[in-house]
Amino acid sequence: GPLEETAIPLFFGWFLCPSFQEKLKSMAKDFLKTLAGLEAFKKHLSDFTGEAEKEVDLEKFFQDKGMLHCTTKFCDYGKAEGSKEYAEQQSVKDRYGNMSELTLSTLFLTPRTLGARVSLSEEQLQLWPTGAEKEAVPDANLPIGSRAHVTLGCAEGVEPVQTGLDLLELVQLQQQGQEGEQVEDLELGSLTYYGKGMWVLSLKEPTVAPACFSSYYG
């Protein structure tokens, strides 16, 4: 009967420790404040507003999406393809509830989403679902784990799933050899503009985020 079955969650992932969530949020806030003040950003403001002269408050533009985490497998309570297999995977069972250190390598934003890219270690990649990149961009050969990120905020009406898709668009551009326009060296790192409102801040010192591998049922 249903009571003997294991319930499959909405998603599995690494959940950032509460104190670190605050730290990352304030880091992102500082970044947005700095960005908004740069002439280079103001020049491309219409990417965000659709109009050249309009102002934008980036901190209000990106709405908070709750508890900060890095999704591994989106299961949709078992409805997503491969979710039962993932939930039953030995590595998933073994690591469930374990702490891990996530390396955040960049902050990025687009007119849709704001996120932090996560560089997964070999060990963390064992929890990364097969096909996460292919499922999103079937025609490209993107590195395994390149979709890994923490959603920091979304524009109004945008679902968090978009953050990973935006990241993969950036990864694809980089893979195609597009270097973007190196804009400025900020205190946190170097800022690059990739066009169409896509900005990447490569952190000078990768930030290490303590996180717990677990799942979310909602």
Residues 6+ apart with CB under 8 A from 212: 14, 15, 17, 97, 98, 99, 100
Provide the minimum distance between the beta carbon of 40 and ligand A2P in the complex, in angstroms, as a whole number.
Answer: 27
Question: Least separation, in Å, of the C-beta of 11 and ligand A2P?
Answer: 4
In the list 21, 72, 163, 215, the residue contacting ligand A2P (rule: CB under 6 A) is 163
| 159 binds ligand A2P per the rule CB under 6 A | yes
d(CA 181, CA 199): 10
Q: Which is nearer to ligand A2P, 50 or 66 (CB)?
A: 66
Q: Which residues are identified as catalytic?
A: 69, 149
- Helix ranges, 38-186 (H): 39-43, 46-49, 58-61, 83-88, 90-95, 122-125, 132-136, 161-175
Of 74, 128, 193, 213, the residue at the interface with ligand A2P (CB under 6 A) is 74
> Hey, which residues between 122 and 151 contact ligand A2P (CB under 6 A)?
151
For residue 132 the two structure tokens come to 């996460």
71 forms part of the interface with ligand A2P (CB under 6 A):
yes
Residues 206, 208, 212, 217, CA torsion sign = negative
106 binds ligand A2P (CB under 6 A): no
CB-nearer residue toward ligand A2P: 43 or 134: 134
Q: Which residues bind ligand A2P (CB under 6 A)?
A: 10-11, 71, 74, 151, 159-161, 163-164
